Structure 1
């Protein structure tokens, strides 16, 4: 009987130590920089019309912020995975929508803004351009997402300007 009790106690302490020994590799301050975007959001355009709903949650043991976008335009959805790439010392986003479009953005947090951009590309007119998306953590708890296309380093066109207000 003593053997069973000793074995049971030994097993209990081993399981407890193993459970306590597990660490969350992505539970550091750096991996939390984009947490201001977590939540369920109602998104509006600058004129106040509804742009859509966005749900951002942490997955993969807090290593990825996963975005699930449903546009107010019927039939348009998209998903992104946002993660801190510790090897490159930068944040990255990989966006894919249900129309087959994708973006790969890279950058870092500066003050109260997460600023990510694509690599330079060349458009049909032979001009160099890139996409820059900036998320601003506003004092009132809302988030502004501004997507700009910058051509030849100076011409800026706004592709999307959305104000996120929490639904939850």
Structure 2
């Protein structure tokens, strides 16, 4: 019984010691690749009209970036962005207030930009599409978010949206 009690009391300490050996996300360069998007933003369409506002913040010791989006039309959404070390890919999980969900499971940091792509999304006509978003820092206070989709497995892409984030804080 004493041995069992000793093991029960020691087990949480061993787990804690194991977790302390794992490097913090904030200290790993890969988790800092998307830091250019952190901040408070006003977001504009190519015609200069305001599309909405966005607040992007670090959570969970910088392991996650949380986006809080609010459009001028009243729609809103949140995205959870993280580097998945097991898959060596950036990933985004987007949810909006109409129940829409999009999973960008194939993300990568390339040439200074963050590129997020979905898997093939089935469409009602038995075809599919792939969606891609590219976040490109234009300066320390501006980021371009370019959304595209492809119905031919990435051979051709059509622009779905093109937004410019302008930092307010």
The TM-score by the shorter chain falls in which range?
Answer: 0.7 to 0.9
* Cα distance in 2, alignment partners of residues 128 and 152 from structure 1: 8
Unaligned runs of 5+ in 2: 1-16
TM-score (norm 2): 0.81
| TM-aligned CA deviation for residue 141 of structure 1 | 3.1
* Alignment of structure 1 residues 2-151 onto 2, 5 Å: 25-27=24-26, 28-74=28-74, 76-105=75-104, 106-139=106-139, 141-151=141-151
Any unmatched runs of 5+ in structure 1?
1-17
Cα offset, 1:126, TM superposition: 2.6
Give the TM-score of the pair, scaled to structure 1.
0.82
Could you tell me how far apart the structure 1 residues matched to 2:128 and 2:99 are?
Answer: 23
SS of aligned partner of 1:104: strand
| Counterpart residue number, 2:163 | 162
Q: Report the CA distance between 1:123 and its aligned residue.
A: 1.8
CA offset at residue 50 of structure 1? 0.5
Could you give the per-residue CA deviations for residues 62-113 of structure 1, whole angstroms, max 9, x where no partner exists? 1100000000112x00001000111110100000001000111021100111
Q: State the SS of the aligned residue for 1:119.
A: coil
CA distances 1:33-61 after superposition (whole Å, capped 9, x unpaired): 00000000000000000000000000111
Deviations 1:107-160 (A, max 9, x none): 110011100100012322332311001000113531000111111134433222
Q: Distance in 2 between matches of 1:140 and 1:62?
A: 19
Q: Distance in 2 between matches of 1:35 and 1:87?
A: 21
- Give the root-mean-square deviation of aligned CA atoms: 1.8
| Contact 1:64-1:82 at 8 Å conserved across structures | yes
Structure number with greater Rg is 1
